[in-house]
Amino acid sequence: MSSGPSHQVDLCCYDVEDVLSSTLGPRFWSRLEVSSFPGPSKNVITMAQRHLLPCPHCETRLSIEPTQAGQTTGCPECSQVVPIPTLRKIRELPLDENQVAESTAQWSFERRSMFAGGLAAFLIGVGITVVFLLLRSQLDTEIPPIPEEEAFLAIVENTPIDGLWLKWKESVRSTELGDWVPSPVTIARRQARLYLQISIVTGVIALGGLGTSVFSLVSQRKS
């Protein structure tokens, strides 16, 4: 069973401002964006802008939005009902400089703070990373060779087991054991491991700061 013919309305046949200023305006504001309509760039309206509408009864300036076109509002001074004009008339009204300046200053301060903080974290992180990598490169972590190693190994191989046992008793077992003192190589390797860990952490902080700064720049351009 076929349904009735579908009717499609071409919105391009209507003037955007007239539609949005009519009684259908509030419904369209919640469903459509002005920028989605084809046409000259003058029809693109910034929704964050507010304009000052003088009250016809007491001349008090009321701050209104383009979304209120075709509606009414109340005057806080004289308590009279003030009709809000069409979008064309609203666009001719002066901007609410207090609202625009406050919004711009707020966003600018936030983005500047984000960019400055990210840049500072990036520079500090890179600086600390470079310093600790340089310190790590100067550490001597190689095990020093045994003096006359080949001659020592030759003596060990040519000495009988009993002779090695006597040598061990004379040189090693007779030595008193005390507190263990790490060798310079062991200390250097521990420092190298610590410097590497610090470099990784500061490198991650530097990358995070760089990402924050780039994000602040990208968001500023998009806005």
pLDDT at 78 over 50: yes
Residue 82 phi, psi (nearest 5) = -115, 120
Arithmetic mean of pLDDT, 125-142? 92
Partners of residue 95 on adjacent β-strands: 51
pTM for the full predicted model: 0.44
pLDDT at 70 over 80: yes
d(CA 15, CA 42): 12
Mean pLDDT of all residues belonging to the chain = 75
Using 50, 70 and 90 to split pLDDT, how confident is the model at 134?
very high
Give 69 or 223, the one with higher predicted confidence: 69
- 174: helix, coil or strand? coil
Q: In the prediction, which pLDDT does 123 show?
A: 95
pLDDT in tens, 178-198: 677 788 888 999 999 999 999
Q: What angle do CA 7, 12, 17 make, to 5 degrees?
A: 120
Tokens in use for 115?
A: 């960019």
pLDDT at 42 over 80: no
Using 50, 70 and 90 to split pLDDT, how confident is the model at 169?
confident
pLDDT at 171 over 80: no
Q: In the prediction, which pLDDT does 142 show?
A: 85
Residue 177 phi, psi (nearest 5) = -85, 135
Question: How many percent of the chain have pLDDT more than 70?
Answer: 68
Closest CA to 96 of 88, 85, 104: 104
Give 129 or 50, the one with higher predicted confidence: 129
Q: In the prediction, which pLDDT does 176 show?
A: 63
